[in-house]
Structure 1
Amino acid sequence: MTPDPQSPRRLVRLAVLVSFIAVAVLARLIPHPPNVTPIGAIALFGGATFADRRLALTLPLASLLISDLFLGFHILIPVVYGSFAVNVLLGRWLRSRRSIVNTGIATLAGSIQFFVVTNFACWVLWYPLTWEGLTTCYVAAIPFFQNTLWGDAVFVTVLFGGLALVEWRFPAAREQPAFGPA
């Protein structure tokens, strides 16, 4: 069996992607305003940058799990993890369409779906199951939504922008085509 000449390049890229995610996870562990976290961005980034679908889903969700080991768990964990899995799927969509505009659209879509999904779960668990309860729940969550938008925008910019800089400076970190020469 002949060794894959692209293998060292793939390892370099993997190391770069994993280190970006690890640094972003550390940012979740330092004091920050509510919902200004890198997790949505990590999920989008993982979906968009890992060629292997299993890694694209597993690594971002594992990073969330690892940080939750330090921060604690709560009743909405399944909903939150499911919502971040949707962000990974948005990243998979973005994978072959990556541009500044599409990245912005995917980031906004991820923030909105997180807001809608997690606050619906909050309504079901903690508010009266009425139209007024639903409205009260979503209105109370607006400040958190603003923070989610801000955090997702900042961390997506850092992750995707940082990767673009690394790929520009170090061509070995660029993703190689699945078929044919580089």
Structure 2
Amino acid sequence: MNITRYSTIAAIIVLAALSRFFPHPFNFTPMAAIALFGGAYFSNRWLAFLVPFSAMLISDTMHELLTGHGFHSGMPVVYGSFALVTLVGIMVLKKVSILKVVSAAVASSLIFFLITNFAFLYPEAAVPSPSLGNYPHNWTGIIASYEAGLPFLKNQILGDLFYSGLLFGSFYLLQRRFEVLRVA
């Protein structure tokens, strides 16, 4: 195990997670890129999940403490979606290339969109509330839920591509500069 390599990967993930505190459009975040990056570069599969999820949990906790909006009832679905994204990183990015990173980033956006918008179809509220996703439980409701999520999907794709490029590109440049970061 290369401690320097693992520490560098973890540091990149933590720095990316901190970027959630910069002003940004909804869903233009580094979270899927972090999950892909961890899946791609941690050979220890526990760390591939643990480090990105720890960074997400810490940043969600900080959001909750600072704004009151860090946690919500859909968190298990959100974290479950990112677990699937980590699996995409593990399976698709065994050998990192630009095409694979772009494909994995777009696939991650679609995975997150399809799962979370379907999941938010189901909450029931005493008073109708769009923020709770109170849609009829039929095809009309499913379509309405996905339509309501389309603006967020655009931001998700753009954010996932931007942050994936930033994380994977930065690590590539660091590996070229410092031999200790290359896989032996």
TM-score calculated relative to the size of structure 1: 0.89
Which residue number in structure 1 is paired with residue 93 of structure 2? 95
How far the C-alpha of 1:130 sits from its partner, in A, is: 1.4
Q: Which residue identity lines up with residue 131 of structure 1 in the other structure?
A: W
After TM superposition, which residue ranges in structure 1, 4 or more long, deviate above 6 angstroms? none
The one-letter amino acid of 2:148's match is A
* Residue identity (%): 42
For the pair 1:149 / 2:157, whether they are aligned, the reply is yes
- The answer for the alignment partner of 1:77 in structure 2 is 75
1:38-71, CA deviations, whole angstroms, 9 ceiling, x for partnerless residues?
0000000000000100000111111111011012
Which stretch has the larger CA shift, 103-112 or 89-98? Answer: 89-98
Give the alignment partner of residue 37 of structure 1, picking from 29, 36, 55.
Answer: 29
Which residue number corresponds to residue 134 of structure 1?
A: 142
For residues 11-90 of structure 1, what are the structure 2 equivalents within 5 Å? 11-71=3-63, 72-90=70-88
Tell me if structure 1 keeps the 8 A contact 2:93–2:101: no
What 5-or-longer segments of structure 2 have no aligned partner? Answer: 64-69, 124-133
Deviations, residues 56-87 of structure 1 (Å, cap 9, x unaligned):
01111111110110122100000000000001
Question: Which amino acid in structure 2 is aligned with residue 96 of structure 1?
Answer: K
- Work out the number of aligned pairs and report it: 168
What is the alpha-carbon distance in structure 1 between the residues aligned to residue 36 and residue 146 of structure 2?
24
Mapped partners of 1:109, 1:76: distance in 2: 21
Per the normalisation by structure 2, the TM-score is 0.88
Q: 1:106 aligns with which of 104, 107, 110?
A: 104
CA distance in 2, matches of 1:96, 1:40: 17
Answer yes or no: is 1:124 the counterpart of 2:122.
yes
- Structure 1 residues without counterparts, runs of 5 or longer: 1-6, 177-182
The CA distance in 2 between the partners of 1:59 and 1:94, in whole Å, is: 19
1:32 CA displacement: 1.1
For 2:177 and 2:162, the matched residues in 1 are separated by 22
Aligned to 2:172: 164
SS in 1 for 2:43: coil
Displacement after TM superposition at 1:15 (Å): 1.6
For residue 32 of structure 1, give the secondary structure of its aligned residue in structure 2: coil
Could you say what the CA RMSD is over the residues aligned between the two structures, in angstroms? Answer: 1.0
C-alpha displacement at 1:135, in angstroms? 0.9
